[in-house]
Amino acid sequence: MEYLDNIELSVELRQVINADLAHHYRVVPKNDSGNILELFVETENATEAISEELELYLGKKIVFCEVPKAVLIKALYEYYRKEEFRKGNNDGPIISADKGFLENLIMEAKAIGSSDIHFEVYEDEARIRFRIDGLLIEKYKIPSDTYLELINKIKIEANLDITEKRLPQDGRINFEDFDIRVSILPTLHGEKTVMRLLGRDTSHLRLEDVGFEEEQYQMYGEAIKQSNGIVLISGPTGSGKTTTLYATLKLLNDNKRNIVTVEDPIEYTLKGINQVQLKEDIGLTFTSALRSFLRQDPDIIMLGEIRDAETAKMAIRASLTGHLVLSTIHTNSAIGTISRLVDMGIPAFYIAETLNASVAQRLLRKLCGSCKEETPFDRQDFPMGYRMPQDLDGYYRPKGCPDCYYTGYKGRIAIYELIPMTHEIVSVIKEHPQNIKDNINYNYQSLADKAFDLLANGTTSIEEIYSLLINA
């Protein structure tokens, strides 16, 4: 028996066997010399019968190397992340050997909760990465010539031009219960492709469950129940803005309201809401769609994003004429959204009169409750100049266990910063549009404050919130 504390696998060696095989036989590759495959195995499974089955399945001579059970289990969960995804109660796994590599890849990504699949090509090799809980994890390496075939297969499935390799292309692949948005970008050595997995199930979209604290939920509820005005949600890509918007629309959707949206892409389909897919290549932009919406007698308008001054001005105009407008904008904070509108050339008076609420949000990874470990306080872990709201004796760090696939994290939590338009804040916007933050006296918790609270109560780690503390 080899006395190892940890097994490290390269991406190439990981691909010698698949997750189903690794978990079924409880084996992990050690070395592949062509005709001979060395496999790590726990003692009780190092039998001649299992060796013969694997030799028949893989077409190679199998050599077992025994390791402690705990070491093997850790490697299985770390490198062969696998969850059962079944068609029904007794139909067996969706992923099967007779399906093509692309479909198996997509189903694997969906089964383990990946939001995006990245296909990237370089001079002498290509790789495939999955984004899981906000971070990219390298899953496969493939030869460059195979990569070209794979990209052409994706283009065919997405109804894209396989002969066009000089310009970016965007397409969509439809499955029975989910869709995939495909984005292709020409790079130095070939085309990089990103596939975004978009679910159709909206049963989980409940505004009360997205992460608002009780007081924030009440303030946000008052903002969206007004018959006119603008509600803006800010944050970087992947911060959960779209989920909050869809949950809001689902709450507001009833037979008495005409709701129209323009999105890029349409991530969920909501019955009773008129959804429009953005198509900039033919002139269907946020601005042109918004002009058309105003002739459709809408009550509520949702714009996927305010990207420029023209769209911002159209949204303001729509809210002034008796419509409730919901949208997102890329800023770092709720106060920053107001400053961004001022920078776009929107008069401070109009912002003060139309903005119902400004919301900023982030998604933070939660520490795994099964393995997180406490560590003493160390001031060097925090950004220089950061003032802590309270003293800490210690906090928790990620460790890694089978429950979290040895990442140290399990799931994510949303945090919100919300500025309602009180009389005081409206006055500050009108009088000090260029210096709002220094003149506002409203007592609200910033994103950094919320993040620190999660660190203090053991929900997340200092590494996960560090970037928020820098901007505090």
pLDDT attached to residue 85? 37
**CA proximity to 234, closest of 3, 465, 447, 2:** 447
Question: Are 230 and 325 spatial neighbours (Cβ–Cβ below 8 Å)?
Answer: yes
pLDDT attached to residue 89? 36
pLDDT attached to residue 69? 83
pLDDT attached to residue 4? 66
Structure tokens at 392: 């800490």
Determine phi and psi for 131, rounding to 5 degrees.
-95, 115
pLDDT attached to residue 79? 83
Q: What is the pTM of this model?
A: 0.76
pLDDT attached to residue 99? 42
Domains and CATH numbers, the chain: 11-79 (3.30.300.160), 100-198 (3.30.450.90), 207-471 (3.40.50.300)
What is the mean pLDDT of each successive set of 10 residues along the chain, which is 472 residues long?
72 83 88 88 87 86 88 83 44 38 87 90 90 87 86 92 92 86 94 90 81 93 95 91 92 94 84 89 87 92 92 93 94 91 92 95 94 94 90 92 85 92 89 79 83 95 94 72
pLDDT attached to residue 132? 86
Alpha carbon of residue 303 to chain centroid: 20
pLDDT attached to residue 370? 92
Q: How many other CB atoms are found less than 10 A from the CB of residue 235?
A: 26
Give just the sign of the alpha carbon dihedral 222, 204, 459, 466. Answer: negative
CA angle 434, 437, 438 (to 5 degrees): 90
Residue 249 zone, left/alpha/beta (φ > 0; ψ -120 to 50; rest): alpha
DSSP class of residue 181 equals E
**CA proximity to 347, closest of 335, 355, 357:** 355
Give CA–CA dist 243/410, Å, rounded: 19
